[in-house]
Structure 1
Amino acid sequence: MLENEKILENLEKVGFSRKEGEVFLELIKNPGANGSQIAKALSYPRTTVYQNLDILQKKGYINSYLDKEITLYETMDINEIFENYKKEISNATKFLKEELNKVEVSGKQKQFYNLNSVEDIKEKFRAVLKKAEKVVYINTNLDLFEFEKEFKKLKEKGIRVIVFSFNHIEYERLGVETYIRDSFNCSVTDSEKRIMVAADCSAAIIGSNYEGEFCGTYSENKLLANIVTEHIKNDIHLMKLEEKFGKEVNKIISLQF
């Protein structure tokens, strides 16, 4: 039956083998059955059934008792089984998340990961904001108001967020430091969207529309993160020079080099 198949598929997702799931489901339908009865119902050898009954009992999912020298089996309380399982998974997940993040990665350089759409980049951007601890540098013309909740949390934590943009957008209500170099007054089209992000000089995102497709890269490579950070800092520095000495300052700087 389709319903049974769905149950078995989900039992496998929570750690049951296929045969364990079938034996367990049969016991739910027929509590107090013995091994021979289960084997007959499932068309499995009795040795196979008893092996799986033993595994299920060791896991604490079923119980056995004697009735006239015949061993009968029944499942433990279903709600209790899965509440305990949920707690175990939650505790294990928390432990692994904390401990695996402490594991030293072999090799000097971290990997680079492709981001193949705007949604991929937005998802990774949220993750970077969530993990930030000290400062985040951002250069983008994407709509940052989508991430208002994330910026609010960063502000509450006292984490500095610095945004540079070539487009005059009122980002102040996001609680971020904003630097706008709107001398170009760029209009943003899909083909011109871009983003550069660096958090704590330890993680970076670069993304833009390339040949009609928005794609990008994420890495925890410190060299890339430092390059992105310095790039944004230089943009801000040039903007301040322009404000102080006028727009011709860029031509003067170019001639010096």
Structure 2
Amino acid sequence: MIKIEEIFENLKKLGLDKKEAEVFLEIIKNPGFNGSQIAKILGYPRTTVYQNLDILQKKGYVNSYLDKEITLYEANNLEDLLENCKKDVCSATNFLKNELTKIGVNGIQKQFYNLNSYSDIKEKFKYILKKAKNIVYINTNLDLIEFEKEFNYLKESNVRVVLFSFSDLNYTSMGLETYIRDSFNSKLTDTEKRIMVAVDSSYALIASNYEDHFGGTYSENKLLANIVMEHIKNDIHLMKLEEKYGKSINKTITLDF
């Protein structure tokens, strides 16, 4: 069974609008037809069909020839046509990938994006884990088991993953370098969830279920990523000081402003 609607959708992806796609499909079905014949089949005015035939010729989808002073149309070789389309799309994609990243850089920091549900947060968390090349810093009390696939991939890729938490978590089997400091935040309940992530000083994610609603912020702002990373590193440092000098060290530290 021919999937006409899917054909139209994919022709659209190649740059043809609905009428262009319809005219092109009729040319494939009826090679050697003229514009009037195609217009009669589609129920469009002849001027509309001829305009679209002209566009299709310029785009390289069809060609025309004269037979007894009547202009007839046929599709170009489909295999060659689609192969050329593939090359054009690949070329355009590679060009834009290189050139668009140059626009508006000039030291301007990237924007911040709201995450409005736990589903959004999970998807963005998976996204930045896949982006990791060197190191990931995480501060969370979320259950990370559902991200086991991503962590195993990082483990195989020799990406260092540092987890700090105020809850008793153990994910060493997934390759996470884990630091637990449960004494500092003993009042934290199971319903109060949060996560902070910094990846390669390039990506940052901060989220929680404040007032029973999960929300957060994602950014590729390097300043925020470094702030999150330093925050987690400082938590680990304080934990090590506490282990070395005793838990009362928190009471002896005073700040003068």
TM-score, structure 1 normalization: 0.84
**Alpha-carbon deviations, 1:90-117, whole Å to 9, x = none?**
4433442344334443673321110111
Is the contact made by 1:168 and 1:185 (CA closer than 8 Å) also made in structure 2? no
Give deviations 1:86-144, integer Å, cap 9, x for gaps.
45334433442344334443673321110111121121122222223332211112222
Work out whether 1:117 is the aligned partner of 2:104. Answer: no
Equivalent residue number for residue 246 of structure 2: 246
Measured after TM superposition, the shift of residue 46 of structure 1 is: 3.1
Counterpart of 1:25, as a letter, is: L
- Residue of structure 2 in register with 1:174 after alignment: 174
CA shift, 1:50, in A, is 2.3
Alpha-carbon distance in structure 2 between the residues aligned to 1:229 and 1:60? 53
Distance change in 2, residues 1:210/1:87 (3 Å)? farther
Partner of 1:165: 165
Residue 195 of structure 1 deviates from its aligned partner by 0.6
Structure 2's unaligned 5+ residue stretches are none
Partner SS, residue 12 of structure 1 = helix
Q: RMSD across aligned C-alpha pairs, in angstroms? A: 2.7
What's 1:34 paired with? 34
| 1:214, distance to aligned residue in structure 2 (A) | 0.2
C-alpha distance in 1 between matches for 2:75 and 2:228: 58
- Counterparts of 2:118 and 2:84, CA distance in 1: 39
Tell me if the contact between 2:192 and 2:210 (Cα under 8 Å) persists in the aligned partners: no
Q: Distance in 2 between matches of 1:151 and 1:85?
A: 38
Question: Alpha carbons of 1:235 and 1:162: their partners in 2 closer, same or farther (altered >3 Å)?
Answer: same
State whether residues 31 and 74 of structure 2, in contact with CA within 8 Å, keep that contact through their aligned partners in structure 1: yes
Structure 1 position 80, deviation (Å)? 5.0
Q: Where does residue 127 of structure 1 map in the other structure? A: 127
SS in 2 for 1:205: strand
Corresponding position of 1:18: 18
Flag structure 1 segments of 5+ consecutive residues without an equivalent. Answer: none
Q: CA deviation at 1:22?
A: 2.2
Question: Residues 138-188 of structure 1, C-alpha deviation per residue, up to 9 Å, x if partnerless?
Answer: 111222233333333333443322111122222112222211123356776
Give the 5 Å matches for 1:199-210: 199-210=199-210
Q: 1:22 aligns to what SS in structure 2?
A: helix
Structure 1, 224-233 or 35-44: larger mean CA deviation: 35-44
Question: Which deviates further from its counterpart, 103-112 or 4-13?
Answer: 4-13
CA change 1:79–1:188 in 2 (3 A) is farther
Which residue number corresponds to residue 139 of structure 1?
Answer: 139
Confirm whether residue 60 of structure 1 aligns to residue 60 of structure 2. yes
| Structure 1 Cα separation of the partners of residues 151 and 99 of structure 2 | 27
Deviations 1:196-221 (A, max 9, x none): 01122232110000121100001122
Deviation of 1:6 after TM superposition, in Å, equals 6.2
Report the identity percentage.
68
- The amino acid across from 1:105 in the alignment is V
Between 88-97 and 49-58, the greater mean CA deviation after superposition: 88-97
**What is the total number of aligned residue pairs between the two structures?**
253
Residue of structure 2 equivalent to 1:196? 196
